[in-house]
Chain A
Amino acid sequence: MAKLIGGLGTSHIPAIGGAIHKGLQQEPYWKPFFDGFPPIREWLGKTRPDVVVMFYNDHGLNFFLDKMPTFAVGAAPEYNNADEGWGIPTLPPFKGELDLSWHLINTLVEKEFDVVSCQEMLVDHACTLPLKLFWPEGDCPVTVVPVCINTVQFPLPSAKRCYALGKAVGEAIKSWDSSKKVAVIASGGLSHQLDGERAGFINKAFDLQFLDRLVSNPEWATQFSVHELVEKTGTQGVELLMWLAMRGALAAAGGSSVRRVTGNYHIPISNTATAALALETVD
C-alpha cells in the first residue's frame, strides 16, 4: 500500500510568484519568507515523495459562481495553469496521478463526501506556487492530485468538515494499492483580509496558537464556526481550512502523533501573515 509520509503547509500569495520570477528571494522584504523553505526542501530531499495531494482554494480561475463545488477533486492527466488577470507568469503544466485521483474519488464518495470530479481543471497560483516553493529547481518531481475547497461563496464547509475530509483523504491514501510515497499539502493563509474597511486585518496571536495546536491537538480549531474563523483570521484567513484538511489526513495515517520537522511564520508578505510548515508522520 502507499505510504503517507507527511504534510506540508505554505501561504500562496500571488506576489510570491512575481518575486520568484524576478529572483527577489534574498531581498530584505522577501528573505524572512523564503528562508522558511530550505529546511523543508532538505526534508523533501531525504524523504522524496512521489505524489502530493494538494488542498487548495481556487480564486476564480477554474470555478465561477455558475457552478461552485464545495469539494472538488482533480482527475486529469495534467493540470494547466493560466492567466489569472494580474500578470503573474503562467507556469508549465503539472502531471496528475490518475489512479490516486479516482481512488480518492471512489473512497471519498463511499465515505459520504460527495465530491465533484474534474477531468479537466485549470489550477491557479494556490496550487502552483507551493510546488514552486518546495521544488524550485527544474521540473516538478512529484505528480499532483488537487483537492479544491470552496472559500469563495458562503456557506463554506465547516472546520470540522474539512478536518474530516482530510481524514478521509488520509485513509484513502493509505488504502491505495501502490508502492508510492505520498505527501499532503495545505496551501493558504494564515490570517489576512483583503476586502472591506477591515482590510489589512492580521491576528498574530491566533495564528501562533493555531500553528501550535495543529501539531499537538489538531482538532482544536474544529471548535470554531466558519463565522468565528472569519472574525478571528479575516475573510481570506479562512484558508486555514486547508491546513486542517492536511492535518486531518496525517491523523488518519496511523500514528497518533506527528513530528514537526520545521516551520516558519512571518508578517507581512503583501497583506498576509505567512507560514510554512513540514510535519512528518510517526510510525
Chain B
Amino acid sequence: MTTCSPEKPIPGTTLFDANQARKGYALNKMCFSFNSEENRKAFLADEEGYMRKYGLNEQQAAAIRARNVLQLIAAGGNAYYLAKFAGIFKLDMQDIGAQQTGMTKEAFRAKLVAAGQ
C-alpha cells in the first residue's frame, strides 16, 4: 500500500494515514455508529451480530472482544471513533491511557501531573 508518511516514525504513535484509513474503515464506521444510544444498546445486546453487520474482519473483531485499544489501533481504529466504543463501557481517558501504557490508572495520573511540574 502507498504511504503518505515517509518521515521517521514517532515511537508509540500511529498516524491515522491512508493505510490506516483503508484498513480500519469498517471498524471506524461501526464505532461512529455509537454516537446513537439505540446503536450502543444494539451492540451490547448482540456484539457478534453487530460486528457482522458492519463487516469487521477477524483482527478487528478480536480486538473489539478483547476491549484492547492498542489492538484496535493496529486493526486500523482511529482514536476519535474508538473513544465512542470506550464510552459504552464508561472508560475515561485515564483508563484508556493506563491500558495502552501498561500502567495502573494511579501511575498514569501521576505521570500526567508530573508533566506539569
Interface residues of A (CB under 8 A from B): 15, 59-61, 64-66, 82-87, 152-155, 193-202, 204, 225, 227, 230-231, 235-236, 266-268, 270-271, 273
Would you give the shortest CB distance from A116 to chain B, in whole angstroms?
A: 18
Interface of B: prevailing SS = helix
Closest 3 CB pairs of A and B: A267-B116, A86-B87, A198-B12
Interface of A: prevailing SS = loop
Q: Which residue of B lies closest to A231 (CB)?
A: B10
Query: Are B83 and A85 touching (Cβ within 8 A)?
Result: yes
Query: Are B78 and A152 touching (Cβ within 8 A)?
Result: yes
B25 contacts across to A, CB distance below 8 A: 65
22 residue pairs from A and B, CB less than 8 Å apart: A15-B92, A65-B25, A65-B29, A85-B35, A86-B87, A87-B90, A152-B16, A152-B80, A154-B15, A193-B13, A194-B83, A199-B96, A199-B97, A200-B101, A202-B116, A204-B116, A227-B10, A230-B10, A268-B113, A270-B93, A271-B97, A273-B115
B82 contacts across to A, CB distance below 8 A: 195
A270 contacts across to B, CB distance below 8 A: 92-94
Query: Are A230 and B13 touching (Cβ within 8 A)?
Result: yes
Interface residues of B (CB under 8 A from A): 4-5, 7, 10-18, 21, 25, 28-29, 31-32, 34-37, 40, 69-70, 73, 78-84, 86-88, 90, 92-94, 96-97, 100-101, 108, 111-113, 115-116
A199 contacts across to B, CB distance below 8 A: 12, 96-97, 100-101
A198 contacts across to B, CB distance below 8 A: 10-13
Query: Are B73 and A195 touching (Cβ within 8 A)?
Result: yes
Would you give the shortest CB distance from A174 to chain B, in whole angstroms?
A: 34
Query: Are A60 and B80 touching (Cβ within 8 A)?
Result: yes
B69 contacts across to A, CB distance below 8 A: 195
Would you give the shortest CB distance from B49 to chain A, in whole angstroms?
A: 20
Would you give the shortest CB distance from A263 to chain B, in whole angstroms?
A: 16
Query: Are A197 and B10 touching (Cβ within 8 A)?
Result: no
A227 contacts across to B, CB distance below 8 A: 5, 7, 10, 15
Query: Are B83 and A196 touching (Cβ within 8 A)?
Result: no
Would you give the shortest CB distance from A235 to chain B, in whole angstroms?
A: 6
Query: Are A86 and B83 touching (Cβ within 8 A)?
Result: yes
Query: Are A266 and B14 touching (Cβ within 8 A)?
Result: no
Query: Are A154 and B17 touching (Cβ within 8 A)?
Result: yes
Query: Are A155 and B70 touching (Cβ within 8 A)?
Result: no
